[in-house]
Structure 1
Amino acid sequence: MDTLNAIGSIMLQLMVPFIVGHLCRPLIANWINRHKRLVNTTDRSSILLVVYVAFSEAVVEGIWQTIDAYSLFIITLVSCVVLVVVMVINVMSARILGFSKEDEITILFCGSKKSLANGVPMANVLFPAATVGIILLPLMIFHQIQLMVCAVIAQKYAKRLEKQ
């Protein structure tokens, strides 16, 4: 029964807002288009808040007393390897399936995103509060690496498009 409660809680936190947002799109699309700057700022701020809360909870739980520098290095290294593998799989799959360059770029970025924004609510539901920080540490590190790497890749794509 706990499993069903966990699934229900995850659905309530992640899927319901997603579905409601899509159902409301026809009603609010014009407003969103007129206020893109506000919507983008709100979106980015909410993700920043999720990251801040997850990091703060980890600090309060004393994560830095339980993780040594070597473990932090290994987590960072594994996160880099996982990101590279996922991105290569995304790009190769897009090419094998014959997607256009624009679709390939979309697949590359969207296929490796949303880890922390989805992971924090799920971890809060699935794990005891005292362990959430240590469980989320690899996800927090992965997410930061992901953002930095994708920013560099996006700049390279933008420069390539400017030359064309």
Structure 2
Amino acid sequence: MRRWSEVPVLRRVEPFVVAILLAVLVAALLPAGGSVATGFSWGTTIGVGVLFFVYGARMAPAEAVAGLRNWRLQGAVAATTFLLFPLLGLVLSFAVGGVLDDGLVAGVLFLAALPSTVQSCVVFTAMARGNVPGAVVSATVSNLAGIGLTPLLAALLLGSSGAGPDAGAVGRILLQLLAPFLLGLVAGRWIGDWLRAHKRRLTLLDRGVIVAVVYAAFSRGVRQGVWAEVGAGEVVVVLACAAVFLAVVLAVTWWAPRLWGANRADRVTIAFCGSNKSLATGLPMATVLFDPHVVGLVALPVILYHPLQITVCSFLAGRLGRPPLLQG
């Protein structure tokens, strides 16, 4: 039986989750203010731009084109990520609207609009002996589409809510996220191979920027007194929403593909790519889309969903990877 310490994704992700939680704790005790807060604001803005530049430069176009041929798999993942999740988010937002702060409700809806992860869902798919090339393409396409679709979905889901994206969000997306990403795509011709060869080292950049974004967002919330309004009960409700998201989507993505005769490998890929949400894309994007005074609240559901999806999907991938379950 595989022990928890032998699950590769847990060895990689657990320190990252710990770093995020520590960033939240430090922000609660020592929030950045004055010139330090200004420095973090500029630093995270530049860091997010560099992050999306690297995302673009690291893409392998030939691999993406080959994987897109499995249109049923790609369509199922896209429909789950950008249709099923948002619809479920709307249902949950109505259910908890009278219990949660508007900023937390916005965070639940924003979580529903996010694209899939890249690294985690591919690792889960490989562990469970699924369609790995299909997972790579699904995750890549999801993140590319998310740059345009996530802001649009967030605006549609949140409507006229005061916690929604403000009027300048489109311009900031174009300037801070899409422009660096497109520049990265162009530069990938010369530096793409090097970036892909040093992917593990560059993971430190991803992690560092995200931890800095978490610290800056939560520091701002502490300084403005936002967290004094969030009780333990609300955190429990947000966790419950995250659990409902994950349980419903995993069930639908595992059983629904049987309707068109999808093989087991594709069902594994659809389940993991469809149920995972990207913290790496979500937190930087939240800082661009939302007013500073609600970013901390909006980020909380995304932060809580991440360790939940890692824990549950690691367990499922380990079980699906065992020989007795290969015919399931």
TM-score by length of 2: 0.40
Match of 2:313 in 1: 150
In the alignment, structure 1 residue 90 sits paired with structure 2 residue 245: no
Amino acid at match of 2:294: T
What is residue 129 of structure 1 aligned with on the other side?
Answer: 292
Given that 1:123 and 1:136 are in contact with CA atoms closer than 8 Å, whether structure 2 keeps it comes out as yes
Check conservation: 1:83, 1:146, Cα contact below 8 A.
yes
AA of the residue aligned to 2:172: S
Equivalents in 2 of 1:37, 1:82: separation in Å? 30
Q: Which amino acid aligns with 2:242?
A: S
- Measure how far apart 1:76 and its partner are: 0.9
Letter in structure 2 aligned against 1:141: L
The CA deviation string for residues 16-71 of structure 1, in whole angstroms up to 9 with x for no partner, is 44444455545445434543432455445555555555455445544542111211
Letter of the 1:150 counterpart = C
| 1:112 and 2:275 matched | yes
State whether structure 2 residue 322 is matched by structure 1 residue 160.
yes
What is the alpha-carbon distance in structure 1 between the residues aligned to residue 280 and residue 179 of structure 2?
15
Where do 5+ consecutive residues of structure 1 fail to align? none
RMSD, aligned α-carbons: 3.3
Q: Does 1:79 align with 2:249?
A: no
Separation in 1 of the partners of 2:192 and 2:219?
35
Match of residue 228 from structure 2:
65
- Matched AA of 2:313: C
Contact kept? 2:217, 2:296, Cα under 8 Å: yes
The separation in 1 between residues aligned to 2:259 and 2:188, in whole angstroms, is: 33
Does the 8 Å contact 1:116/1:143 carry over to 2?
Answer: yes
Which aligned pairs between 1:36-55 and structure 2 lie closer than 5 A?
36-55=199-218
Q: 1:138 to 1:163 in 2, by over 3 A?
A: closer
Pair 8,132 (structure 1): closer, same or farther in 2 beyond 3 Å: same
Distance 1:80 1:13, change over 3 A: farther
Native 8 Å contact 2:254 2:270 kept in 1: yes
CA contact (8 A) 2:210 2:284 kept: no
> 84-93 vs 27-36, which deviates more?
27-36
Whole-angstrom distance in 1 between the partners of 2:297 and 2:273: 26
**Structure 1 residue 102 displacement after superposition:** 2.7
TM-score normalised by L of structure 1? 0.70
Correspondence for 2:303: 140
Secondary structure in structure 2 of the residue aligned to 1:99 = coil
Q: Would you say the 8 A contact 1:61–1:133 is kept in 2? A: no
Distance in 1, matches of 2:169 and 2:218, equals 22
1: distance between equivalents of 2:323 and 2:217? 36
Paired residue for 1:35? 198
Amino acid at match of 1:69: A
Q: 2: distance between equivalents of 1:44 and 1:101?
A: 33
1:106–1:46 distance in 2 versus 1, CA, 3 Å: farther
Task: Give the counterpart letter for 1:94 in structure 2.
Answer: P
